[in-house]
Amino acid sequence: MDRVALRGLKARGHHGVFPREREEGQTFIVDLVIGLDTRAAAADDDLAKTVHYGIVAEEVVAAVEGEPVDLIETLAERIAQTCLKHDGVLEVEVCVHKPDAPITVPFDDVTVTITRSRV
């Protein structure tokens, strides 16, 4: 399986279990690795035969900016399902970063990574 990766997609969302997170929002960062077969697109040099990663990026940002959820696990699932709606996408790995999570000790990042497929 071939892979198309998008790293560091940034969007502001209002996800979290605490009122402050819902009210103020925060930046979320998303990394995607999309699994698909790119041979037909490469052979014909045809964008229509692969995934348009610009459109996927816009849809992922819209998902982050959309309806708030409590858990980044839920947000990751929403993003995965958005990606799998594209023809040809067989699998997707989604990593959601929450670098400003409300944790009381020093930390660099919090992430949730999931892998989903059509099968």
Instruction: Output the six-digit token pair for 85.
Output: 């709606």
Q: Percent helix, strand, coil in the chain (nearest 5)?
A: 35, 30, 35
113 C-beta neighbours (distance < 10 Å), count: 12
Task: Give the chain's count of helices (H) and strands (E).
Answer: 4, 4
User: Which residues form the catalytic set?
Assistant: 98
